[in-house]
Structure 1
Amino acid sequence: MAAQFPVVRILICGAAGGIDVAAHLPTEVAPRAVAVVAHPHPLFGGTMDNKVVTTIARTMFDAGAAVFRFNFRGVGKTEGAHDEGRGETDDMLTVISHARASVGNDSLPLWLAGFSFGGAVALAASEQVVVDQLVLVAPAFQRIAQWANVHNGGNPPASTLLIHGENDETVPLSDSLEWARSRDMAVTVVPAADHFFHMRLHIIKQLVANQLRRGV
């Protein structure tokens, strides 16, 4: 029988109004990390219930983290309008602050993750807080209009895991390769995977789990 994945839905205050958050808190042991996971582009159907997002969240929960997913502006119960990544980064930082306060331990490691648009936002957020693990899945930092022109992303944490599908039809693999090349970092390519990793989610789970074990 599968282990439990408890969830509590809450609404927290953000700069543009309420932020719709799903919190997954360990019930039997104290968390060993705090994790926040960001979803794909809100104008193209992205929500915190996306399967890649929930796969990452569940994997981080199983690794012992208190995990927080959230909806970007204009999605679900989150208020406000899409802001090309700027306001969304602020909202992720707000969720991080809330997550730390919720577990009552500021010294816990921070794990951030994001898929597609959420990967770009997670990267931006990682430049403003100390991050112990950063997971970027098909990050769309080269594809965000206007924001990409002024935010190209600095050097990510050494513990960054960058995953991309070989056959990504939405965010080309070449984007991640080009971005990683200039930063002398690795890209993990999932053979035959499309943007949403259909029939390949188990590989995402395995890669993330292995990364977190190495970070213990």
Structure 2
Amino acid sequence: MNSERLRIQGARELKATLDTPERGNTDAVVVACPPHPQMGGDRRDGRLRALGEELCERHVACLRVDYGPYDEGRAERRDVREALSWARERSDRAGLFGYSFGAGVGLLAAAEECEAGTAPVATSVLAPPASSGGESTVEAVDRVTSPLQVVYGERDGTVDWEPVVERARERDASVTGVPADHFFVGQQDRVARQVAEFLAAALGPETER
């Protein structure tokens, strides 16, 4: 895997790291959204890095982003959409992943993108909270019209994931429980593989191993 630091110019300049396969070009990229920035979350998060490695093994690039100044999830949602726009301009297919705070932001951003006609090819969220920036991520599940995956820790007592999981199951999204807490200690590689398999399959048969 090769990693390149870059900046995405938009309403708010975003720092990012682009992970790409060591061999060959790829025309698919996943935007990866980190956990809460006020709790140390950034693009160097171990879960995001593990996903980048797994995606690159499946010939999919991974754009790990940092948000702009903290805005309780509101401006961060726009940051995610800006990153998706950057990804679409440089690849044929763009997907979306978010963990914890990033899962909430990602769900709402994906819903807005779907309504705008620029839906991510697929969206995967890990440990999603029931709300973000004062808005319901549970309702956002219904607004995400492209393939959706929800992965949660069965012992997660940090976020209120149950309503999101219930709604995702009702709409026949891919839902996977992992015997882990919110931080997925000892399970990061397993989770990364599950998410990468889902996203690579959705982004196109040519991206699968």
Provide, for residues 21-63 of structure 1, a one-character-per-residue CA deviation record: whole Å limited to 9, x for no partner: 1112335312041210001111222111111111222222221
1:51 corresponds to which of 46, 65, 80: 46
- Aligned equivalents of 1:177 and 1:98: distance in 2? 30
- Aligned equivalents of 2:194 and 2:22: distance in 1? 25
Structure with higher helix content: 2
The answer to whether the aligner puts 1:207 opposite 2:194 as a matched pair is: yes
SS of the residue corresponding to residue 2 of structure 2 reads coil
Give the drift of 1:134. 1.1
SS of the residue corresponding to residue 187 of structure 1 reads strand
SS of the residue corresponding to residue 11 of structure 1 reads strand
Give the drift of 1:194. 0.6
8 Å CA contact retained: 1:166, 1:173:
no
Name stretches of at least 5 consecutive residues in structure 2 with no aligned partner.
Answer: none
The answer to whether the aligner puts 1:6 opposite 2:7 as a matched pair is: no
Match of 2:100 in 1: 116
Show the 5 A alignment for 1:159-178.
Answer: 159-178=147-166
8 Å CA contact retained: 2:104, 2:131:
no
8 Å CA contact retained: 1:113, 1:119:
yes
Q: For residue 51 of structure 1, what is the amino acid of its counterpart?
A: G
Task: Sort the Cα spacing of 1:59 and 1:157 in 2 relative to 1 into closer, same or farther, 3 A.
Answer: farther
Q: For residue 168 of structure 1, what is the amino acid of its counterpart?
A: D
- Aligned equivalents of 1:144 and 1:125: distance in 2? 11
Give the drift of 1:182. 4.7
8 Å CA contact retained: 2:33, 2:43:
yes
Q: How many residues align?
A: 197
Task: Sort the Cα spacing of 1:148 and 1:83 in 2 relative to 1 into closer, same or farther, 3 A.
Answer: farther
Name stretches of at least 5 consecutive residues in structure 1 with no aligned partner.
Answer: 74-80
Q: For residue 104 of structure 2, what is the amino acid of its counterpart?
A: A
SS of the residue corresponding to residue 25 of structure 2 reads coil
Larger radius of gyration: 1
Give the drift of 1:91. 1.0
- Aligned equivalents of 1:24 and 1:181: distance in 2? 31
Give the aligned CA root-mean-square deviation in angstroms. 2.2
Q: For residue 69 of structure 1, what is the amino acid of its counterpart?
A: R
Question: What is the TM-score with the length of structure 1 in the denominator?
Answer: 0.81
Match of 1:38 in 2: 33
8 Å CA contact retained: 1:22, 1:69:
yes
Match of 2:181 in 1: 194
**After the TM superposition, which segments of 4 or more aligned residues of structure 1 sit over 4 Å from their partners?**
none
SS of the residue corresponding to residue 14 of structure 1 reads coil
8 Å CA contact retained: 1:85, 1:147:
no
2:122 corresponds to which of 127, 130, 133: 133
Give the drift of 1:72. 1.2
- Aligned equivalents of 2:133 and 2:97: distance in 1? 21
The answer to whether the aligner puts 1:61 opposite 2:56 as a matched pair is: yes
SS of the residue corresponding to residue 120 of structure 1 reads helix
Q: For residue 6 of structure 2, what is the amino acid of its counterpart?
A: I
Give the drift of 1:64. 1.2
- Aligned equivalents of 1:177 and 1:145: distance in 2? 19
Question: What is the TM-score with the length of structure 2 in the denominator?
Answer: 0.83
Task: Sort the Cα spacing of 1:23 and 1:185 in 2 relative to 1 into closer, same or farther, 3 A.
Answer: closer
- Aligned equivalents of 2:27 and 2:133: distance in 1? 37
